[in-house]
Amino acid sequence: MNNVRDASIKDVARLAGVSIATVSRCMNFPEKVSEKTRLKVQAAIYNTGYSPNTLAQSFRRGHTNIIMVVLPSVGDPFFSAVMRGIRVAARAKGYSVIFEDTQFNKMTDDDLGTMLVSNQIDGIILLASISPFGNEILSSNSKRSVPVVIGCETVSPELADFPSVHIDNISAAKEATNYLISQGHERIAMICGQASSLLTKDREYGYRVAMKKAKLPIEDGWIIDGDLTILGARTATRNLMNHVYRPTAIFCANDEMAIGCIHEIKAAGLQVPGDISIVGFDDIRYAEVTAPPLTTISQPAEEIGERVMYRLSRCIDAEDDATLGPEIVPHKLVIRQSVAKRVS
């Protein structure tokens, strides 16, 4: 293969077996190219080490070719997959990526504000529903001095004018809950995340809608905060197992909580799914190898990462208007062995 400094778009096109125009289209408008072609081009970009001439682009456009990705937790398996997609697309577009891990806290660091104001970065990918920068810094971006694109998360009202890429969380939560209902479960609880999270609110709303449509009650204490962590879910699960109306199924707002939930149920001497069925959310890499393998909602994490990066690059080049609105990508219910039919 070519060295990084020698690789050209022609090399990518030749290796992928497509035209140069198709390679360009994959980098700039991936949604207009078939998945098969896009994957071939991405593999060729990776194998050749191709990167656009970032120095020439910087002089020509007055940009640094550096973008910042802000995420709640760099150790979260789901966000790790999103970041892989961002890196692939960023490399194809000639951008370097820096990451800021908020640890679910708001960021008030003066250095970060200085970086935004001085345009040391060309744009921001925000993997959070509520800005960790705070409204004051975000409002300074209202004139798009620094483009912002939101990935994965439901968009809050104050961020509604920013482009975004995510699944329909309400629809996905309804589908997960309806699957449990279809298996004969009537006592279905939910372990969710922080009440301040719009994503959690959407998933809880989807659960409530499905339960209401099926005319099933939601007992007090059946919706409980698991802090989106394994430890938080273990505490929440103990509370649910001690409930006067112990649920026969639990819908968890992410897979890490589902894993913690399964562990705690087994530690209590109960069986999954024999005694309590579990459904997760995200389809992280551990979901398939849990015991039992986890039924969950799958998000196309890497695709979301790629699409949000390509969209940000178009915003930077003034080719993509924020009024295009959110881009909704499809989710999928993955059925494994953590749910059993409930016989009355």
pLDDT tens, residue by residue, 283-297: 999 999 999 999 999
Structure tokens at 205: 């709303």
pLDDT tens, residue by residue, 325-339: 788 999 999 999 999
How far apart, in whole angstroms, are the C-alpha atoms of residue 278 and residue 280?
A: 7
Predicted TM-score (pTM) of this structure: 0.76
How far apart, in whole angstroms, are the C-alpha atoms of residue 264 and residue 238?
A: 7
Which residues make Cβ contacts (< 8 Å) with residue 88, sequence separation at least 6? 42, 45, 46, 302, 305, 306
- Looking at every residue in the chain, the average pLDDT score rounds to 82
Structure tokens at 72: 């709640």
How far apart, in whole angstroms, are the C-alpha atoms of residue 286 and residue 341?
A: 24
The pLDDT, as a whole number, for residue 221 is 96
pLDDT tens, residue by residue, 199-255: 788 999 999 999 999 999 999 999 999 988 999 999 999 999 999 999 999 999 999
- 51-166+301-328 and 169-298 share one CATH topology? yes
The pLDDT, as a whole number, for residue 243 is 96
What percent of the chain lies above the pLDDT cut of 70?
78
- Environment class of 343 (CB within 10 Å of its CB; exposed 0-12, middle 13-18, buried 19+): exposed
pLDDT tens, residue by residue, 133-188: 554 555 544 444 678 888 887 666 666 677 889 999 999 999 999 999 999 999 99
Peptide bond into 247 cis (omega under 30): no
Domain 169-298: give its CATH code.
3.40.50.2300
Q: Which of 128, 145, 52 is nearest to 95 (CA)?
A: 52
Q: Which amino acid is at 326?
A: P
Cα dihedral 64, 70, 76, 79 in deg (nearest 10): -60
Structure tokens at 159: 């961020």
CB 249 within 8 A of CB 185: yes
pLDDT tens, residue by residue, 59-99: 445 567 888 888 877 777 888 899 999 999 999 888 988 88
- Other C-beta atoms lying within 10 Å of the C-beta of residue 142: 9
> What is residue 311's three-state secondary structure?
helix
How far apart, in whole angstroms, are the C-alpha atoms of residue 232 and residue 343?
A: 30
Peptide bond into 30 cis (omega under 30): no
| Domain boundaries defined on the chain | 51-166+301-328, 169-298
CB 184 within 8 A of CB 245: no
pLDDT tens, residue by residue, 246-292: 999 999 999 999 999 999 999 999 999 999 999 999 999 999 999 99
Superfamily of domain 51-166+301-328: Response regulator (3.40.50.2300)
pLDDT tens, residue by residue, 18-49: 887 788 777 766 767 888 888 888 788 878 87
Structure tokens at 101: 């891990």
CA-based torsion, 316, 317, 323, 326: positive or negative: negative
